[in-house]
Amino acid sequence: MKTTEGIAVSAVARPHAPVLPAAAPRPGAKLWRGWAAWPLSLKIGTALLALQLAVALLAGWLYPGDPFDLAGPSFLPPGADPQFPLGTDIMGRDIAAGLVHGARVSLLVGLSATVIATVLGTTVGLLAGYFGGWVDHLLMRVTELFQVIPHFLFAIILVAIMGSQLPYIVLAIGVTSWTMVARLVRAETLALRERDYVKICQVMGGGHARVILTHILPNAFAPVIVAASVLTALAVLTEAGLAFLGMSDSNRISWGGMIGASREALLDAPYMTLIPGAAIVLAVAALSLIGDGLAQHLRRGGAS
């Protein structure tokens, strides 16, 4: 009988057999666990954004009343009058009030437009990636269409047609910025479609909807969140641009609108432009940092 020297050829594991690798954590689980472990950019970005969200939410308490009111003397520089810490603009409107209420508009538009764009883009991407064939082809042509027409121009014409009320602005921005998400989700779906657990689910008779919703979507989600923060930053910039050009809701004050309204006074009173400008930069920077931080954090081993 042949023996192999020194080794028991059997399946009996020794008591000191190495531990099997731990099961991978559920996507999303690691995000909430220690936020001390977040990368620096994520922490700073979230802090800045939280600050601005807080200001936006508390706008009604901080500065009750209409920010469009002519509250004081015009051309008041910041710091001259404690009642108007940030001064007043050409018409005598309180800049601080405008800033605070403008936060509402910018963040609201930014976030809502992103939700629309994300939903649209995810749907298109999932369908195109999962079904392939002519569905993919058709959807990709549509995506390409929305990609080649410059987004800002497209948004301008949509707002010109629909009107410049806030919901239409949100819609216009959302409808013109979904292509990034669509491409991303499609790529993820194509990769995930080939994974074994998806094929098993299909073999076992899971309907398409079930497979997509329970297996593909949760795993494609991580990069979508990162893309969403980038989209929100872009949406805020787009809204500011539209407002600057005069296409904003005339009942709502907006940072971009404040800048646009202060153009004539640029040389004499640049603070009217720079203060709302700084607010925009802060908001977009915060969102960008969040996007970067999330990407870094998820790469390190959060979701799959």
Residue nearer to another protein on the CB measure, 206 or 241: 241
Helix/strand/coil percentages in the chain, nearest 5: 65, 0, 30
Closest approach, Cβ 96 to another protein, in A, equals: 19
Q: How far is the CB of 302 from another protein (least distance, A)?
A: 15
Choice between 11 and 204, CB closer to another protein: 11
Enclosing H/E stretch for 260 = helix 255-261
Do residues 174 and 117 lie in contact, with contact meaning Cβ atoms separated by under 8 Å? yes
SS3 94: strand
Least separation in angstroms between CB 273 and another protein: 6
We find the least distance from the C-beta atom of residue 249 to another protein, in angstroms, to be 16
**SS3 state at 137:** helix
User: Phi/psi of residue 53, each to 5°?
Assistant: -60, -40
One-letter amino acid for residue 43 of the chain: K
Applying CB under 8 A, the residues found at the interface with another protein are: 2, 4-14, 16-20, 141-142, 144-145, 147-154, 156-157, 160-161, 233, 237, 240-241, 244-247, 256, 259, 263, 266-267, 270, 273-274, 277, 280-285, 288-289
Minimum CB distance to another protein smaller for 213 or for 281: 281
Nearer Cβ to another protein (45/67): 45
- Sign of the Cα pseudo-torsion (109, 112, 118, 120, in order): negative
If the CB atoms of residues 198 and 257 are measured against another protein, the closer one turns out to be 257
